[in-house]
Structure 1
Amino acid sequence: MAPVKTVCVYCGSGFGGDPAFRQAAETLGAALAAAGLDLVYGGGDVGLMGTVARAVLAGGGRVTGIIPDFLKSREHMLDSIQETIVVGDMHTRKRLMFERSDAFVALPGGIGTLEELVEQLTWAQLGRHRKPILLVEVNGFWKPLLTLFDHMRAHGFIREGLDLNYVVAEGADAVVPTLQSESRRLGDDPAAERFVTERL
Structure 2
Amino acid sequence: MNAATPFSLCVYCGSRSGTDPAHEAAARRVGTLIGERGWRLVYGGGRAGLMGVVADATLAAGGTVVGVIPHALMSRELGHPGLTELHVVDTMHERKRMMAERASAFLALPGGIGTFEELFEVWTWRQLGYHDQPIGLLNVAGYYDELLAFLAKTIDAGFLSTAQHDLLNVSDDAEALLTQLATLAGGAHQPDDYRSI
Alignment TM-score > 0.5, same fold: yes
Q: How does 1:72-91 map to 2 (within 5 A)?
A: 72-91=74-93
* Aligned residues between the structures: 193
Cα distance in 2, alignment partners of residues 88 and 108 from structure 1:
26
Which residue identity is paired with 1:77?
A: G
Q: For residue 156 of structure 1, what is the aligned residue in structure 2?
A: 158
Gap runs ≥5 in structure 2: none
1:93 aligns with 2:95: yes
Q: For residue 123 of structure 1, what is the aligned residue in structure 2?
A: 125
Q: Please say if residues 42 and 49 of structure 1, whose CA atoms lie closer than 8 Å, have aligned partners that are also in contact.
A: yes
1:42 aligns with 2:37: no
Q: Please say if residues 8 and 41 of structure 1, whose CA atoms lie closer than 8 Å, have aligned partners that are also in contact.
A: yes
Identity value in percent:
45
Gap runs ≥5 in structure 1: none
Q: For residue 15 of structure 2, what is the aligned residue in structure 1?
A: 13
Q: Please say if residues 9 and 41 of structure 1, whose CA atoms lie closer than 8 Å, have aligned partners that are also in contact.
A: yes
Q: For residue 143 of structure 1, what is the aligned residue in structure 2?
A: 145
Q: CA deviation at 1:171?
A: 2.4
Cα distance in 1, alignment partners of residues 106 and 66 from structure 2:
14
Partner SS state of residue 9, structure 1: strand
Partner SS state of residue 74, structure 1: helix
Cα distance in 1, alignment partners of residues 166 and 119 from structure 2:
12
| C-alpha spacing 1:113/1:197, structure 2 compared with 1 (3 Å) | same
Cα distance in 2, alignment partners of residues 178 and 19 from structure 1:
25
Cα distance in 1, alignment partners of residues 29 and 156 from structure 2:
35
Q: What TM-score do the two structures reach when normalised by structure 1?
A: 0.89
